[in-house]
Amino acid sequence: MVETSKIAWKRLSIEAVAIVASILLAFAIDAWWKDRVEVELEQRLLSALLVEFDQNAELLREARTFYEQRYMEALRILNYLEDGVTDLDQAEIGEDLRGLLISHSMHLESGSHDGLLASGELSLIRDEDLRNRLAAWPSYVKEWSEEQEMVFSYVRRELYPALANSVRVRTIARDFAAFPDGESPPLAPRGAKEEIATINVDNIVAFDNLVYGRAQGLWYAMRDGETLLARTTAITELIRQYLDN
């Protein structure tokens, strides 16, 4: 039997401490490396998101200009009708009448954000406020997209049929603006501006109500667009601040 007094307890203790220390060091290095990889990945994800949200902010500004123009056109027509005008002269209000039939449904960029959610990498975003805003982003976009679709469908469902029964709509709709992707909704073929003479609004059932409905829908689209633009701007500012720290 080995005598207890002959066991090198000091040496064994030192070796045990060294083994434990090496294990802890390995864990620390592994955790450090994992954290470094995650930080680098987070930086790449946020940089891609920043580009995407900057693009979306620009698209929303374009949309604001587009909807404001259509809204003012509708208001001018309503002002004519308030004055008791029954014949709308193309020379005076033709552009505004064309504006009634111009409507577009646009889509924001979402590739980077969609990939972030699909991959589960949203958890890599360490800033809680930013993470929550990114998680809620699809619901923000959905609200505005629904307003856009209502504006677009109103033209197809209400305005276009009403005008088609009273005037040569193809001449009114000839100047579709390219927004935002260069494509125009196929509501009517192009025609010569000179073919429009006057429109007797008495022949169009509840024309003033139709125009008012158009203005109301555009107002809601502008309101929700401003809200979405503010949220987009807030997200981009948070990302920039986070990347700069």
Rounded Cα distance between 219 and 228, Å, is 14
pLDDT at 112 over 80: yes
Name the band, by pLDDT with cuts 50, 70 and 90, for residue 156: confident
Indicate whether 39 belongs to any domain. yes
Name the band, by pLDDT with cuts 50, 70 and 90, for residue 215: very high
* Range with the poorest average pLDDT among 57-66, 71-80, 105-114, 200-209: 200-209
Q: Look over the chain and give the mean of its residue pLDDT values, rounded to a whole number.
A: 78
Indicate whether 33 belongs to any domain. yes
Could you tell me which residue, 79 or 14, shows the higher pLDDT?
79
Rounded Cα distance between 240 and 245, Å, is 9
Indicate whether 157 belongs to any domain. yes
Indicate whether 3 belongs to any domain. no
Indicate whether 1 belongs to any domain. no
Indicate whether 151 belongs to any domain. yes
Name the band, by pLDDT with cuts 50, 70 and 90, for residue 55: very high
3-state helix, strand, coil in the chain (%, to 5): 75, 0, 20
Q: What's the number of domains the chain is made of?
A: 1
pLDDT at 18 over 70: no
| Residue 196 CA from chain centroid, whole number | 37
- pLDDT tens by residue, 165-194: 665 555 555 444 444 454 444 444 344 444
Rounded Cα distance between 93 and 148, Å, is 25
Indicate whether 108 belongs to any domain. yes
- Domain with 180, as residue range(s), is 8-244
Burial class (CB in 10 A: 0-12, 13-18, 19+), 52: buried
Q: Which range, 9-18, 22-31, 78-87, 222-231, has the best average confidence (pLDDT)?
A: 222-231
Residue 178: φ, ψ to 5°: -85, 100
pLDDT at 229 over 60: yes
Name the band, by pLDDT with cuts 50, 70 and 90, for residue 218: very high
Q: How far is CA 42 from CA 37, 46, 60, 206, in A?
A: 9, 6, 26, 56
Indicate whether 2 belongs to any domain. no
Rounded Cα distance between 184 and 98, Å, is 14
User: Span 26-44, mean pLDDT?
Assistant: 71
